[in-house]
Amino acid sequence: MGAGIPTTATYIILVAVAAPALAQLGIEPLVAHFFVFYYGVLADITPPVALAAYAASGIAKSNPFKTGNTAFRLGIAKALVPFVFVYSPSLLLITGEFQTDQLLITLAGTLIGIALIGIAFSGYWFRNLKSYEQIIIGIGSLFFVAPGTGSMIVGFLIILPMLFLQFNKKD
């Protein structure tokens, strides 16, 4: 959604182009604005634009492609947050039917889900992860981000064997 242009210009363009489409899907206007702004800023660290990552590689005198890919892997968890805004606007504290218990469940699930997807993409939890462990943890993380205790329980059941393996691995 971004094009390597300054944040304010990105926001103005995306609000004019993408926010009306989100509003037609029944998403509250403020939530739609948060969604497009977040994704516009996310473009600064995700290839092919990755303007901030490429600037950082110039400062560090590193390979721009590797730096952009590393920034993407480290920042991939950020890509889930706007969807949480849409599916559980209580996280933004703006809805008319705001409930504290929904906020706490959503916040806990989002924090755990973001941490788990970061773990899956980094390839390390308590020890190095094998490829299949990364995939399973990545799938489990999506269940934590989906709002609700039922999906969080499913996510916990998915990652529980991986947690067990991490503590019982012999190095």
In the chain, the percentage of residues whose pLDDT exceeds 90 is 19
Q: How many CB atoms lie within 10 A of CB 94?
A: 13
Mean pLDDT value of segment 117-142: 90
Mean pLDDT value of segment 112-122: 89
Overall pTM > 0.85: no
Q: Residue ranges per domain, the chain?
A: 96-171
Find, among 34, 59, 37, 56, the residue nearest to 45 by Cα: 56
Whole-number pLDDT of residue 136: 94
In the predicted model, what is the mean pLDDT of the chain? 84
Find, among 75, 96, 76, 99, the residue nearest to 147 by Cα: 99
pLDDT (tens digit, 9 = 90+) per residue, 16-75? Answer: 988 889 889 888 888 888 888 888 888 778 777 778 888 888 999 999 888 888 888 888
